[in-house]
Amino acid sequence: MVLDMNHVHDMDMHMDMDMHNSFYWGKDAIILFSGWPNRSLDMYILAIFVVFFMAFAAELLSAGENIIKPHRNPMEAGLSLAIVHTIRMGLAYLVMLALMSFNFGIFIAALVGHAIGFFIFKASAIARAADRKELEFLST
């Protein structure tokens, strides 16, 4: 089989937006979908909030073992944890893809979302557990 490599593509090689390979500031970015936020300041602000909430939700779901109520059936508990893990990983991958826009605003939104989510769901749980152990130690 011989492939003809001399055919012409109908692809337009000029893009409306630059692809960055280093961090930059600005609303002119492609985040997750082609044409979004489409050079619109309102849509860029929406994109920042979307990335923030995806990172925040990923941290919420990483505390999934504390959220899911215990089941009598281990299969139900395992299935529930697998579903939560799948959603969390999907959100984490979407945040990673958004960060590949190399937009500094998106990067900061992801960091702040992860930091606040960790503080609320993980650090406070660790502090509560430490307090319980101290109380147990004092009561003995």
pLDDT digits (tens, 9 = 90+) for 97-124: 999 999 999 999 999 999 999 999 888 7
Query: Residue ranges of the alpha helices (H) in the chain?
Result: 41-62, 64-67, 74-99, 104-118, 124-139
28 in a structural domain: no
Task: Band the pLDDT of 72: cuts 50, 70, 90.
Answer: confident
Residue 70 identity (one-letter amino acid)? P
d(CA 48, CA 99): 11
108 in a structural domain: yes
Written as six digits, the tokens of 82 are: 């697998």
Give the model confidence (pLDDT) of 86-103 as tens digits: 999 999 999 999 999 999
11 in a structural domain: no
d(CA 111, CA 130): 26
Written as six digits, the tokens of 87 are: 């959603």
Quote the Cα angle for 28-54-117, to 5°.
120
As for how many domains the chain has, the answer is 1
pTM: 0.74
Nearest CA to 128 among 58, 64, 66? 66
d(CA 27, CA 6): 40
19 in a structural domain: no
22 in a structural domain: no
